[in-house]
Amino acid sequence: MIEGIGIDIVNISRMDTLSTVALHRLFHEMEVTYALTLQEKQRSEYLAGRFAAKEAIFKAISHGDGKTNFKDITILNDLHRKPYVKTHPFGQELQFQVSISHTEKQAIAFVICERL
Residues labelled catalytic: 59, 102
* Cβ contact 88:69 at 8 Å: no
Beta-bridge partner residues of 112: 5, 97
Given a contact cutoff of 8 angstroms between Cβ atoms, the answer to whether 75 and 92 are in contact is no
